[in-house]
Amino acid sequence: MTLKFRHPVTVYSLVPGGVSPLAMTSAVIHLLDRNVVSWIGREPRSVPDSPRDAAMRWWLEFLDTPTQSINPVLCAFEGNKSRIPTLDEFKDEYRRSCEKIGAYFRSARIVRHRDDNFLQLYQNVVDLHARHRAEVDFLCEIAPEIAERRPRRELVAIRDRILDAAQRRRLGASLVLIATLSCLYEGATEATASAARGVIKPKPRYGPRAAHNAVSDVRAVEMLAAGAPLGPETLGLCTGDRQLARFWDALGIMSATWSGNNACTVSQRMSSRLFPILTDVQCRELAEILVEHRFADAGARLGYYQR
């Protein structure tokens, strides 16, 4: 059937397996990303609505019920200085985000932490510090290579340079690497546009601030994937970023498993939705190359998160 909503979709709920409007999401625990929290913090209640503000307010009302829980941890992970936050900055950003969210949502449950919980929560930032730094450096090197669509005759050479840079940075299985390859294998039409280009935002001149923001966005979908074992009807990522929603949808992550060493393994879809100009056979060949270079195995190992 066809549904027509009162407003165009401006907020997306990313859940294991796909993307939903908030009116139809299966999630009951929502990770709010920075663009949604920023809008909430400046939401102009006392002036006439713009069409977008009216749409944002209408969609976010679906979260404001006692059955929904809202967690601002993504804002704390990203920080507000375009770099990895310190422990004090992590605490301050979490609390500020809680204040904004709590002032806006009067009925939803806001996930808050006591002081003695922050150190354990921040340990996730510490554990991911080396990989975050490596992925930022990798993007600073590679983004100029994929800033523009390249002729097909150049793609193999550029792919090899991308893989070489990833090996030098010891990225291992990384969705940042997958995203850069998605940008590489992009076509010239809207139908063959890369789902990742709007996330990485590659430019000929690309610095650490842009790279940090891109890695933080990718980390948000990693955290969603890592939370998949909680159940497909539980956790969702709430974002106003349509490009991030497209990237998550193209990844096709349905579930995840946790091993004894606290590592999360997910299975993603290697298809033309991620690599638009490749055939199914070429996608399988690319997957084999990634496995050969130890950038992938039966799933994609996404790092370490406290459960």
Question: Could you report the per-residue pLDDT of 165-196, keeping only the tens digit for each?
Answer: 999 999 988 999 999 999 999 998 888 999 99
Higher pLDDT, 291 or 302: 291
CB 84 within 8 A of CB 264: no
All residues at 6 or more sequence positions from 215 whose CB lies less than 8 Å from its CB, including other chains: 132, 135, 136, 139, 176
Per DSSP, the residues of 109-128 read EE----HHHHHHHHHHHHHH
Does position 124 have pLDDT exceeding 90, yes or no?
no
The pLDDT-based confidence of 305 (bands split at 50, 70, 90) is very low
Does position 23 have pLDDT exceeding 60, yes or no?
yes
DSSP H or E run through 242: helix 242-251
The pLDDT-based confidence of 66 (bands split at 50, 70, 90) is very high
What pTM, to 2 d.p., does this model score? 0.88
Please provide the average confidence, as pLDDT, over all residues in the chain: 87
Question: Could you report the per-residue pLDDT of 1-16, keeping only the tens digit for each?
Answer: 677 888 899 999 999 8
pLDDT of residue 265: 66
CA gap 245, 243 in Å, rounded: 5
pLDDT of residue 260: 59
Give mean pLDDT, residues 215-228.
86
Query: What is the amino acid identity at position 15?
Result: V
Question: Could you report the per-residue pLDDT of 76-118, keeping only the tens digit for each?
Answer: 888 888 888 998 999 999 999 999 999 999 999 998 888 778 8
